[in-house]
Structure 1
């Protein structure tokens, strides 16, 4: 079985593929100070709960946007799982998509992995909207090249900033309000956050299409993308597995 690890700024995803399907996924808060031994204890317990053993893991592929965590993730694979991991960004590791930007090296590994996952499943030119700590809009060409995009604050980051910067505004849950006009503070905040992000998404997608002139397939992914389903007028598909599908394809390219 293949273990795919995707370390984001907020959460780290562990997913296991049995050769046919993704069979289980677990998430843990990203902490650059967490050691390989601590990860091993947590991971071992979850594996046992599903009836798996460390020896079931035959390969590992790792993507991270938190460089400080890479040492411990690599040690987890080597010392506890007894496999040599494929690390996205290491010299010689094939990604499977080209990069057409001013500085290709500054493009985050997570964005390239997600782009690869998308081009395996969707045809034509793509706009990938990934809702995480940041909300990114990535343009990927029909010939499988990452061409650039947009980075905006993530919806959870905006909620936290609103709460922390304004003394009288509470922390709120992100939900789709029944009406745009809120009748109290919580409803007003929920409307501003939710419909504000729908406006951000649809407005930026339309600006991309207007500026570029090509037709695009628009895909939503990431932790909170499902909240926008049925509300956004521009997102055509929702796919939560783009990143781990990209990691699976990279492992196939490099195994």
Structure 2
């Protein structure tokens, strides 16, 4: 079986694949410092709790935007799973060509999402990842990652809002019943959620206009992406497993080579 690991700024998302079938998906927090033993023990414990024998993990592939934890994470995997993980970078042969001005600065998560997005669209695509940052990636019909827009994530914007304004409370992010709020909490929820919907619709429209890919297939992923995808027609598909599937596709390509 294949263990895929997406290391984000907030969460580490892990998925176990038996060929093309996702057998389990689980998360760990990223911001907690861990030793290699803690990573290895925690991962093995989670696998066993999901009735997955750690010894059945034959390969591991990682995409990470948090370099500081990679030494401990990879060491823990090597010690506890007896597997040397593959690390995705801008130099990895993923099947997607990065044609931005500075390809080496392109986040591995964005490359992985582009791989999965193209596999779904079979042509031009816009991939939106609602994470710590909200990223909009333009994938061309000839397997090229051409452009990206990066905006504050919905939760990031929320934390900035109540962290910087003493009178505003921390809230749960969800769509309120009406945009015409009559109290503070729903007013904040409306600003965050409806603001994100408006941003998404405008950016997607401009990306299609300026690229000429008017029929680009729009795919969303990320924790809060489901809320936005349900409220706008500009998103064709919401796929919470997009990044993990992209990692699996990259591993399969590397294995064939």
Task: Report the TM-score, using the length of structure 2 for normalisation.
Answer: 0.95
Residue of structure 2 in register with 1:77 after alignment: 77
- The answer on whether the counterparts of 2:135 and 2:150 sit within 8 Å (CA) in structure 1 is yes
Residue of structure 2 in register with 1:195 after alignment: 194
Query: Which runs of 4 or more aligned residues in structure 1 lie more than 3 Å from their structure 2 counterparts after TM superposition?
Result: none
CA distance in 2, matches of 1:231, 1:55: 43
Deviating more after overlay: 3-12 vs 93-102: 93-102
Deviations 1:193-241 (A, max 9, x none): 1101101100111111222222211111111100113312311111111
CA distance in 2, matches of 1:114, 1:32: 25
Residue of structure 2 in register with 1:250 after alignment: 250
Gaps of 5+ in 2: none
CA distance in 2, matches of 1:24, 1:37: 22
- CA deviation after TM superposition for structure 1 residue 31, in Å: 3.0
- The answer on whether the counterparts of 1:113 and 1:246 sit within 8 Å (CA) in structure 2 is yes
- The answer on whether the counterparts of 2:40 and 2:77 sit within 8 Å (CA) in structure 1 is no
Residue of structure 2 in register with 1:118 after alignment: 117
CA distance in 2, matches of 1:214, 1:45: 46
- CA deviation after TM superposition for structure 1 residue 32, in Å: 6.7
- CA deviation after TM superposition for structure 1 residue 50, in Å: 2.0
CA distance in 2, matches of 1:13, 1:110: 12
Residue of structure 1 in register with 2:143 after alignment: 144
CA distance in 1, matches of 2:186, 2:147: 36
CA distance in 1, matches of 2:140, 2:120: 14
Task: Report the TM-score, using the length of structure 1 for normalisation.
Answer: 0.96
1:14 to 2:31 alignment: no
Residue of structure 2 in register with 1:49 after alignment: 49
Q: Secondary structure at the match of 1:121?
A: helix
- The answer on whether the counterparts of 2:96 and 2:144 sit within 8 Å (CA) in structure 1 is yes
Residue of structure 1 in register with 2:173 after alignment: 174
- The answer on whether the counterparts of 1:32 and 1:66 sit within 8 Å (CA) in structure 2 is no
CA distance in 1, matches of 2:20, 2:211: 38
Gaps of 5+ in 1: none
CA distance in 1, matches of 2:88, 2:177: 43
Deviating more after overlay: 240-249 vs 211-220: 211-220
CA distance in 2, matches of 1:27, 1:80: 18
- Shift of the 155–5 alpha-carbon distance from structure 1 to 2, 3 Å rule, reads same
Residue of structure 1 in register with 2:31 after alignment: 31
Q: Secondary structure at the match of 2:121?
A: coil
What's the RMSD between the two structures over aligned residues? 1.3
Residue of structure 1 in register with 2:241 after alignment: 241
- Shift of the 78–219 alpha-carbon distance from structure 1 to 2, 3 Å rule, reads same
- CA deviation after TM superposition for structure 1 residue 33, in Å: 2.8
Residue of structure 1 in register with 2:225 after alignment: 225
CA distance in 1, matches of 2:20, 2:233: 34
Residue of structure 1 in register with 2:128 after alignment: 129
Report the count of equivalent residues: 254
